[in-house]
Amino acid sequence: MTREEAIGKLTEFQETEPNQEVWNQAKALKADFNEQTEALNQKALEQFLNEGGEKDEFQAPKDELAGKFDELWTQIKKRYKEKQKEEAAQQRVNLTVKREIIEDIEKLAEKEENIKRAFETMKELEEKWKNTGPVPSADFGELQADYSKARDSFFYNIRIHKELFEHDLKRNLQLKQELTSKMDALKENNKIKDVEALAKTYLKEWDEIGPTFKEEWEKVRDEFKEARSRAFDRVKEHYQKVKEQKQENLLKKEELLKKAEEILKEDIQTKKHWNKLTDAFKELQTEWKKTGFAPKDKNEEVWVQFKKIGDEFFARKKAFFKDLRDVQNKNRDIKQELLKAAEEIKESEEWKETTDKLKELQKKWTNTGAASQRDEQKLWRKFREACNYFFDRKKDRFKARKQQEEENLKAKQELIAQIEGIKSDDEKGEELLESKISEFNALGFVPIKQKDSIQKSFQNATAKAYKSLGLDKDEIAKKQLNNKIDEIKKSGDVRSLEREKQNITDKMRELESTITQYENNMSFFGMSKGAEKLKAEVESKLEGTRKKHENLKKQLIAIKVAIRENRS
């Protein structure tokens, strides 16, 4: 149930008598609502920490739903407490009234000589007893025993008219047999709460029925006793299963706690390793939420331990990435110096010397680790522009495009071979791959006949390398799109970007049509098992199509940005 649905249910309770059943449902709603709210706050905290925030500075976002829920909860709690007070006061009054009725019955059995009048008075007292509400549970058993004793004393000690007495005995036998049948029928009732409540009600009614024929008494008593035992045994068995399930949940949570402790013990030294274990820890958190309550005396204890491990894990992660940022900042400073050196010589007419210097700068650039993603892209774009500016001037000057293209082809082939040689266990494999891609894109044109084949080889090599480094299909597609955009932007061929933009737009329209069709189909499913299965299949396809559409949307945005930058 969502938090909005919980508020709606609690709102309905405002119009309902605040009895015990309503109160139990309200408490269950509160527990579920608080758990969901805690999960949202934890998610917000994780995002805050991942974005570089300090835990002490985190403030949970304003939660209007929580405020509304608390307001409704306070109202129903107040009404329930008031109701309890009223019922407790009334029960005390009822206790006094019923004790007075027992005293009246005892006096009636001792003093009344008129049999008819005594019987009529007894009927009035019985009716008054039935119409008097419940008493405090602590006094119920003793009170019922005193009442039964007083009634039995009356019926067995007062000399009642024989026909009237036998009529009552017969009627009482019939009522007891009917109650026995009702109690026995509870074995067909699958709602344990109803079985428990009805069994108590029938037991109370049994005690309130008068005596029957002595020769029939033991038989009907034993039959009722057996039916009662079956009913209460079912109730006992149910609560035992609930207890066992909570114990099983405790074992599951202790196993999750053990796995969390193992993750915390890991010696994590790389970004890739941190991301992998973060995903693993989040899976444990998800599994924890799916697991039901443990026994009350242990549930809070294991949760506190699990949460403490989570806090420590993410605190260590934050510290690691802070150190990583320090390294990235050092790399940024180095690349800023390399950029400055490249810009200072890009106007040089010393072609060979400057070419060697720029290649040396490029080599140093490649050997230098990555800066932050934002700084890396910005610095690389400027560095590449400075290099391209010089090499474009050089090509224009020497009119040696063909030779340069052959050199570019050979260099790209070498880079492809180097990319293919990147190992999945290389700690800096991803940085090395990005640097090789950057070198590849920095190289100029190749002979037109080899253009498609070299590009295809490059795409295959990078896809294989990305896959070996643990990237999924969506991440690979995104990386290769960015590489393609960089290559096209370098060539200055805006028309290629426009063609790619139109191609993605057409694909998105096709997916939008498919999404609409799936959504229309969803509204025609019925509630049969077959329809539910088909509905689940369509929902799965719909989710996959939406994901493809979202990925294409991100690609389209990237291409539009590239087009604007190329035209500016």
**Helix intervals (H) in 51-161:** 64-111, 115-131, 137-157
Ranking 32-41, 54-63, 332-341 by mean pLDDT, the lowest is 54-63
**Greatest mean pLDDT among 129-133, 153-157, 402-406, 564-568:** 129-133
**Helix intervals (H) in 346-447:** 351-367, 373-398, 401-420, 429-442
Q: How far apart are CA 218 and CA 506, in angstroms?
A: 87
Q: What value does the mean pLDDT take over residues 424-442?
A: 78
CA nearest to 257, candidates 216, 217, 294, 220: 294
Percentage of the chain beyond pLDDT 90 is: 2
pLDDT of 490 reads 63
Q: How far apart are CA 41 and CA 67, in angstroms?
A: 14
pLDDT band per the 50, 70, 90 thresholds, residue 277: confident
pLDDT band per the 50, 70, 90 thresholds, residue 194: confident
Q: What value does the mean pLDDT take over residues 397-412?
A: 78
Within 10 angstroms of residue 516's Cβ, the number of other Cβ atoms is 10
Model confidence, pTM = 0.31
* 3-state class (DSSP) for residue 293: coil
Residue 493, pLDDT above cutoff 70:
no
Token representation of residue 356? 């060697």
pLDDT band per the 50, 70, 90 thresholds, residue 323: low
Cα-flanking dihedrals φ and ψ of residue 502, to 5°? -65, -35
pLDDT band per the 50, 70, 90 thresholds, residue 160: very low
Q: How far apart are CA 104 and CA 97, in angstroms?
A: 10
**Residue that the structure tokens 């209007």 belong to:** 64
Token representation of residue 360? 């040396």
pLDDT of 491 reads 60
CA nearest to 407, candidates 443, 383, 437, 442: 443
| Rounded alpha-carbon distances, angstroms, from residue 395 to 211, 363, 438, 475 | 118, 21, 21, 36
pLDDT of 507 reads 86
Mean pLDDT of the chain, nearest integer: 81
Q: What value does the mean pLDDT take over residues 394-401?
A: 71
- Residue 429 φ/ψ region, left for φ over 0, alpha for ψ in the -120 to 50 degree band, beta for the rest: alpha
Q: How far apart are CA 56 and CA 34, in angstroms?
A: 22
pLDDT of 69 reads 82
Does 423 or 390 have the greater pLDDT score? 390
Residue ranges of E strands in 228-329: none
* pLDDT, tens digit (0-9, with 9 covering 90-100), for 79-134: 878 777 877 888 888 889 989 998 888 887 666 556 667 778 888 988 999 888 88
Q: Which amino acid does the sequence have at 79?
A: R
pLDDT of 212 reads 77
Burial 395-407 (b: 16+ CB within 10 A, else e): beeeeeeeebbee
* pLDDT, tens digit (0-9, with 9 covering 90-100), for 14-43: 777 777 777 788 888 888 888 888 888 888
* pLDDT, tens digit (0-9, with 9 covering 90-100), for 261-274: 888 888 887 778 87
Vertex 288: Cα angle to 283 and 294 (nearest 5) = 165
Q: How far apart are CA 307 and CA 157, in angstroms?
A: 70
Q: What value does the mean pLDDT take over residues 410-426?
A: 83
Does 523 or 553 have the greater pLDDT score? 553
Give the largest CA-CA distance in the chain: 139
Question: DSSP letters along 78-104, please?
Answer: HHHHHHHHHHHHHHHHHHHHHHHHHHH
Does 341 or 84 have the greater pLDDT score? 341
**Beta-carbon-side half-sphere exposure of residue 164 (alpha carbons within 13 Å):** 12
pLDDT of 529 reads 56
pLDDT of 99 reads 92
pLDDT of 525 reads 62
Ranking 36-45, 181-190, 382-391, 517-526 by mean pLDDT, the lowest is 517-526
